[in-house]
A and B are shown apart, each in its own frame.
Chain A
Amino acid sequence: MEAFFKEAVVPHFNFWIYVIIMMIGLWSVIAKNNLIKKLIGLSIFQTAILLLYVSLGVKEGASIPIIDHHAAERSLVGDAGAINPDLIANPVPHVLMLTAIVVGVATLGVALALCQMIYKDFGTLEEDEVLQKIKALHDDV
């Protein structure tokens, strides 16, 4: 058990945490009946993805992905070793997740707007009740 913990869990703990958080989100999307709770689940799911990407860009002992000015100027005049990539975190996941966060907020706003319209039309946000009412509407026609 301890060997498994040391080999599989500790060096990969970011993946373990991301899977656990993602499964919590997935569970609430499937199991919860209330549409707002489903949306909360989706947001938790998204958080897990953000965490996965950012954790992939981490380098042991590295700093933020901003080059300091002295090193940058020295690299321009041909000092090949001025910028050490091992000391700068991987910038690509940060870029991808930066836009994903803001787009996530905007699309969450659209989802909440749809929920408001559903509540206005059906008077409830419980999925089964909404489905029943839609079915009743179809039966009337």
Chain B
Amino acid sequence: MKAKIFASIAVTITGAILLYAVTDFPNFGDPRSPANAGVGGGSSSASLYYIENTYRDTKVPNLVTAILADYRGYDTLFETVVIFTAGMAIFAILRVLRNEDAPSAPDPESTNRTIDGDHHRIIVGITCRIAVPLVQIFALYVVAHGHHSPGGGFQGGVMLGASFILIALSGSLRDALARFSEASYIRLASLGILIYAGVAFLPLVFGRNFVDYGALRGLLGTEGEEMARSHGIFGVELGVAFTVMAVMFAIFANLSTRGRLKGGL
């Protein structure tokens, strides 16, 4: 009770201070606000530079994708590393590697496999079996078409991970692990980082800066540096998608079984 009173007082004071400052902020939807048009409503903000020059620099109409993977390539590289580290941290915290199954305890999956146990799963199972390939194809489309429409590595990766989680939820975790085993998701998570860091590193070989994909022009055989940047962005998005997909599934698989990767929800 004391904690609640203290929390209410602290939150009220903090909220009052924050709300007191609100009147100094720009109006909602103001195109001349500092965030949108630079300090003092001038025209020197980063966002205006991106809007006016992104297509000329990278030939990517989706500004979000281009900024994410090219202009802010460092940021996204290490965001991906954070996701990878989170996956590995969950592995380190939860995963039980020694086999501690008591032989007398019945396997929860084998009891579910009887006709009675499976009965309630027929409609859900068949619906999901039809839905999963469609989800995955759409996810691949989201990854590959992120240059021209909303999408990219993060969104597509989450959808791919969700498709495997759907298999685990509608059937059993064993079904999902048969398609996407622990060894392969750890490998894919690392491979994603490797693809991203590799594509970002290649320009160094050609004597240019890190994440300056324009240097890949000769290697990719494109006409100008803009198209080389566009292809570099795609390579990076692919790496992000791999890592995000693998880590999302790893989180689910470990959390739902307390690290044993057996039984599950």
Task: List residues of A whose CB falls within 8 A of some B CB.
Answer: 7-8, 11-16, 19-20, 22-23, 26-27, 30-31, 33, 55-60, 62, 64-69, 72, 75-76, 83, 85-86, 88, 90-95, 98-99, 101-103, 105-107, 109-110, 112-114, 116-117, 120
Contact = CB atoms under 8 A, between A and B. Distances in A.
B33 A114 contact: no
A101 B11 CA distance: 25
Contacts of A8: 22-23
B67 A92 contact: yes
A95 B54 CA distance: 14
B247 to A, nearest CB: 6
A92 B46 contact: yes
A100 B101 CA distance: 39
A113 B90 contact: yes
A36 to B, nearest CB: 12
B47 A55 contact: no
19 contacts: A19-B22, A31-B6, A56-B33, A59-B30, A59-B31, A59-B36, A66-B150, A72-B55, A72-B61, A75-B55, A85-B37, A92-B35, A98-B64, A98-B68, A98-B155, A103-B79, A106-B83, A109-B90, A110-B90
Interface in B27-84: 27-31, 33, 35-37, 46-48, 50-52, 54-56, 61-64, 67-68, 72, 75-76, 79, 82-83
Contact of A116 (B94, B154, B157): B94
Interface of A is mostly: helix
B10 to A, nearest CB: 6
Given A88-B51, A106-B251, A109-B255, A95 B86 contact: no
A44 B27 CA distance: 24
A115 to B, nearest CB: 10
Given A112-B255, A113-B254, A116-B255, A88 B63 contact: yes
A91 B56 contact: no
Contact of B63 (A12, A65, A99): A65
Interface string B1-29: 00110111011101100110011010111
Given A98-B154, A116-B255, A106 B82 contact: yes
B27 A90 contact: no
Contact of B51 (A7, A65, A112, A117): A65
A12 B19 CA distance: 10
Interface of B is mostly: helix
B238 to A, nearest CB: 16
Nearest to B88: A110
Interface residues of B, number: 67
A105 B61 contact: no
A125 to B, nearest CB: 14
B75 A99 contact: yes
Contacts, number: 177
A106 to B, nearest CB: 4
A85 B25 contact: no
A16 B22 CA distance: 8
Contacts of B259: 116
Given A65-B51, A112-B255, 4 more contacts: A16-B19, A75-B55, A102-B158, A110-B93
Interface of B: 3-4, 6-8, 10-12, 14-15, 18-19, 22-23, 25, 27-31, 33, 35-37, 46-48, 50-52, 54-56, 61-64, 67-68, 72, 75-76, 79, 82-83, 86-87, 89-90, 93-94, 148-150, 152, 154-155, 157-158, 244, 247-248, 251, 254-255, 258-259
B36 A64 contact: no
Given A88-B51, A92-B47, A99-B79, A20 B28 contact: no
Contact of B154 (A75, A92, A102): A102
Nearest to A13: B28
